[in-house]
Amino acid sequence: MTDPATHPEHQSQPHEHHKAKVSPPPAEGHLGRKLTDEEINTLKQFIYEGPIHLVKTHKDTLAAVNVLAKETLLGFDIEKRPAFKKGVTYPPALLQLAGHDAVYIFQLHHTGLPAELTSLLSNPHIIKAGIAVARDIQELRELSEFQPEGFVDLGISAKNSGIQHHGLRGLAALMLEYRVSKSAKLTNWEKENLPAHALQYAATDAWMGMMIYKAMKKTGRVSLNVGEIHSRSRKYAVIFDMDGVLVDSYQPHYLSWASTCITRGFSMSPEQFSTLFGRSFRAFAEALSTKPLSETELQQWYDEKELRYREIIEQDFPEIDGVGDLVANLHDAGILMGIASSGPRSNVDCLLKYLSNAKRIITTVSADETKNCKPHPEPFLVCAEKLGVKPAQCVVIEDSIHGLQAARSAGMKAVGLAGTCSEKELTRYADLVIKSLRQLNYKVILNLIN
């Protein structure tokens, strides 16, 4: 193991100045306060300056695990190389574990995630405390499968306890009265030789996880459920239909169909639209047209109709109530999200420009990427494959009978959102029928899957 600390004595005798002292428990009213950026910026900055052991070899991994296995509490964090292009992600580069006397930083491109290290992550008797732990565990399990035990997500615990801050910076300020810098977040953590200031940054985050845990426990009112993260760390996904689930598109679709019918010399009644809504464009157009349509005519009509649809929703985007809150809730719980739509790619991309918390939905599938439309399961199966989640670990949210049939055929649980169809119509095909997205949260999703 290499130690980048300047003074050799740091390896054996930790100095008090690198330790964040646990302040007296904040007053009851103070815990519910939201500190401003100005207030946080006035606090003393904390930088971990104690022993840092950089672990690169299997031999060093064994030595580090031997020390860490004697602890009962560890601060936990990972670092990844930052991605600057949409859709590009990188595996974890570092795993940081902070013990009582030192922080161990594992360079995962050298060490991997061997059994000795995963045994530590699977030990229920050693608490591992950090922020956004579920997502970190998911990414580590991509390197090597293990059963996570003993993890505490401080952000989720804070949120469940009515604390306004859920991130490391806010919790460090509230619970410890320290300011934590995030200036090194754009570091390429895969570099062979990391500078000392970058290692200090990485060590600080893990150390703070341990100290915030101690401070939260000291308050006596914060519920820290060690097992809570267990179910969240498994790879689960929610796949949304687009029209009628994320965007209230019934009226915009009706208006765009009606206007393009008029340009072709015939009309469409609301009753006709209601009967045909949810079918493929070809089936819809052929049912309405008074004459056979060539492929060229179908394509021209399709392009015109979808352009008109996008113009309508861009004027007044009709987002379904509760979308933004549900996406945030699922994201915070580490549940992956995707969209599988029967609409064209241009419509999906248009929706993503306006949808609340759209950046938390990590993959999308449109009609342009599949050969078959719903009720064929292909759209959902392609989406699950892109997410890297097994169909049995997915929940689909749909508003149409065809969509629910597709979800069932894909081997996924299905939630029917009433609106386009009645609750009675959906009940036959859905595992759960809801009137509003506000009836859903991560607990409901996990209960459905499990």
Over the stretch 304-322, which tens digit does the pLDDT of each residue have?
A: 999 999 999 999 999 999 9
252: cis peptide before it, omega within 30°? no
Q: Where in the chain is the domain with CATH 1.10.150?
A: 250-315
Which is higher by pLDDT, 236 or 279? 236
Residue 200 pLDDT more than 60? yes
State mean pLDDT over 422-444. Answer: 95
Name the CATH superfamily for 8-230.
Ribonuclease H-like superfamily/Ribonuclease H (3.30.420.10)
**Which pLDDT value is given to residue 221?**
58
For CATH 3.30.420.10, the residue range(s) in the chain are 8-230
What's the Rg (C-alpha) of the chain?
26
**pLDDT at 351 (0 to 100):** 93
Of 26-40, 103-117, 152-166, 243-257, the poorest mean pLDDT is in 26-40
For domain 237-247+319-449, give the CATH number.
3.40.50.1000
Q: Spelled out in words, what is the top-level CATH class assigned to the domain 250-315?
A: mainly alpha
Q: Give CATH 3.40.50.1000 domain extents, the chain.
A: 237-247+319-449
Mean pLDDT, residues 72-83 taken together: 92
Instruction: Check residue 15 and give its pLDDT.
Output: 38
